[in-house]
Homo-oligomer: A and B are copies of this chain.
Amino acid sequence: MRLILSSNIGFCYGVKRAVGIVDELSSEYKVKTFGPLIHNPQMIERLRAKGVQTIDSLNDKTNKECKIVIRSHGVGPDTYNLLNKMGIDYIDATCPFVKNAQDFVKRKNREKITVLIFGDKQHPEVKAVMSYAKDIVVAESIEEVKALPNFKKIAVVSQTTQSKQLFREVVMVLLDKAVEVDIYNSICGATESRQTEAEKLSCMVDIMLIVGGKNSANTRRLYTVCQNHCEVCYHIETVRDIGFDLFPKNSTIGLITGASTPDFIVDEIIDAMEREFGADLSVETLN
């Protein structure tokens, strides 16, 4: 048995930063986050055990007695305004890539240009980015972009975890719809390189393990990428979601994680495979 790990594994920069902030604060203060800090239930459970709570609104009397953390997906201007108005001390753990997308949308709003966000309407990142402009459209697919009317000018930004290829197709469609197209490629570098690695790795193996929250957009995207190249793909959250005893002998197995998958989950998987296959298992990292 051969296990090949992708070289980009575990938390991306934005998630590492957000988890680090909360980890450090929680040893001294009571910490509350807007919505789950990241899209990984196991990590959220660990944080909960350390007293980190999730809130949905600021109508809470205890807010002044704790540290409020804005999660990596970011929030809209209304929330910042409310925090300031209520005099609440908060720590902003918005992912820098998301922040850049918000700043672009804010700028285009000032320039009075319609903004298209290419992403999932229900995703908290997209919901927050949307709230920075008045004249905004969200499209979830190329078909939705094609169905848009013509514009004189349009600006376009992407959910940070989108597929690079799809975003390029969006730009091509917009070139037929508008004379002026202002593009901000907000797909984060880590997302891009994980997608490239997922493609490469899934072409080399018999079985692909894609590890990450079922509610993680970037993990689901990696799963879709892998399915194009490998017949047996499993999107798992933890080692308990899969039985290694059923894997055919001498298989080559690829492992990749989403950007919000903690290292401890990968370690558990490797430990379980070492127990299952013993000396038959070789573990290596993708070059």
Contacts and interface: CB of A to CB of B under 8 A. Distances in A.
A172 interface: yes
A153 to B, nearest CB: 9
A146 interface: no
Contacts of A21: none
Nearest to A174: B183
A100 B180 CA distance: 11
- Interface size bucket, A side? 10 to 19
Interface string A175-203: 10011111111100000000000000000
B185 A182 contact: no
A99 to B, nearest CB: 13
A171 interface: yes
A104 interface: yes
A175 B168 CA distance: 8
Contacts of A178: 185
A74 to B, nearest CB: 18
Interface string A89-100: 000000000001
B179 A182 contact: no
A168 B174 CA distance: 11
Contacts of A100: 179
